[in-house]
Structure 1
């Protein structure tokens, strides 16, 4: 039985995917690499260590990977105040907590971004733990982040709540099921194909449908 709800943050609780895509587009442009923004969007949900070689190649990663990630951070910073939580983000965390689950926010984002988003969704008094990029060697779709999140609270089993195929792949490789929401802009079929056991259009829809997921009330 799962005892821990592992929440992705960017694209799931806070509406950041398109800001991230634009920041990555601008960072690549600094190195005369012009990528269609739709392709960048398709990779959002990966950590920067995975995203750069996925969108380009190993040669670009070796030559510019760290500089591209530093440029992304600089480009994202002016956009962060535009970010808003998705409707229902705080209420979903609270409801899952009330059901007896440990709540871990599993982010591979920069620590200052994670701190900002914790305040944005008023999660500090709800979450039992959270992660940042400082806590893992390899980001999603590697399973490290999910494993680290479970270890933070000595969880015996988890349920991942995420918005991207990369969340579901990472969770699956860690032996954890995923409940997905379409807030990141990915389709129902894509999320199911990546391993999500249920897909909801919004956080409010997920709250209404929790009893049909592994986050059901005990005895339901």
Structure 2
């Protein structure tokens, strides 16, 4: 009985994942912490509270965690104007809304970043609600954000659209099916093995095949 579409923002609607990795690399370098970019990319999709200990270790989190997150924000602000919407993102959102779904844009990002990205995809005009880091005590892959997104619109049940294995994990904790995109840099095999119901190349590809998914029409 799906009546709500929960759509991740970073990496799903806007092309940010590699910008995130570079910003984290520069933030870590301020504290003489070296982590290869490929490993940083593998963690993109987690919230910053989970990301630092995962990619750099618990000791780095204890010594520099909050400072690193602040440094990351400063570095990300330097590249945010380079970020562009992914092909078909705005059309996908409009189609979901036109089909009658309650539409929530789910991000664990800072409010200023989320609102910037909403403007890139005309999200304010179509979304019933959106989330930021203020809406989840624990970020992905914990399910808090997905649960709170559904609660914001008083939906009965949802399907998730995301680009990372962490989106799939977060939704899976609540038995919410995920339609995954390759735009985050994770492979189709990884996404399916984590539990994605289907995998699409891009927002445009999903838009063109919505009738073949659980988001064809509200149940």
TM-score range, shorter chain: over 0.9
Q: Number of residue pairs matched?
A: 219
CA distance in 2: counterparts of 1:181 and 1:75, whole angstroms: 26
The answer for the alignment partner of 1:84 in structure 2 is 84
**What's the CA shift for 1:163?**
0.2
The answer for the alignment partner of 1:27 in structure 2 is 27
Q: Secondary structure at the match of 1:124?
A: helix
Contact in 1 for aligned 2:3/2:218 (Cα 8 Å): no
Q: Which runs of 4+ in 1 moved over 4 A?
A: none
Report matched runs for 1:24-63 at 5 Å.
Answer: 24-63=24-63
The answer for the alignment partner of 1:198 in structure 2 is 198
The answer for the alignment partner of 2:155 in structure 1 is 155
CA distance in 2: counterparts of 1:22 and 1:120, whole angstroms: 21
Q: Deviation per CA, 1:63-96, whole angstroms, max 9, x where unpaired?
A: 1110000000000001000000001100000001
The answer for the alignment partner of 1:6 in structure 2 is 6
Q: Secondary structure at the match of 2:140?
A: coil
The answer for the alignment partner of 1:134 in structure 2 is 134
Q: Deviation per CA, 1:109-160, whole angstroms, max 9, x where unpaired?
A: 0000011011110111100000000111110000000001001001100100
The answer for the alignment partner of 2:186 in structure 1 is 186
Q: Secondary structure at the match of 2:130?
A: strand
Normalised by the length of structure 1, the TM-score is 0.98
Contact in 1 for aligned 2:4/2:218 (Cα 8 Å): no
Structure 1 residue 109 corresponds to structure 2 residue 109 = yes
Q: Which moved more, 1:57-66 or 1:188-197?
A: 57-66
Contact in 1 for aligned 2:179/2:198 (Cα 8 Å): yes
**What's the CA shift for 1:211?**
1.1
Unmatched runs of 5 consecutive residues or more in structure 2: none
**What's the CA shift for 1:218?**
5.6
CA distance in 1: counterparts of 2:218 and 2:49, whole angstroms: 39
Unmatched runs of 5 consecutive residues or more in structure 1: none
**What's the CA shift for 1:217?**
3.0
Q: Deviation per CA, 1:157-183, whole angstroms, max 9, x where unpaired?
A: 010000000000000012211000101
Normalised by the length of structure 2, the TM-score is 0.98
**What's the CA shift for 1:59?**
1.6
RMSD of aligned Cα (Å): 0.9
CA distance in 1: counterparts of 2:35 and 2:62, whole angstroms: 18
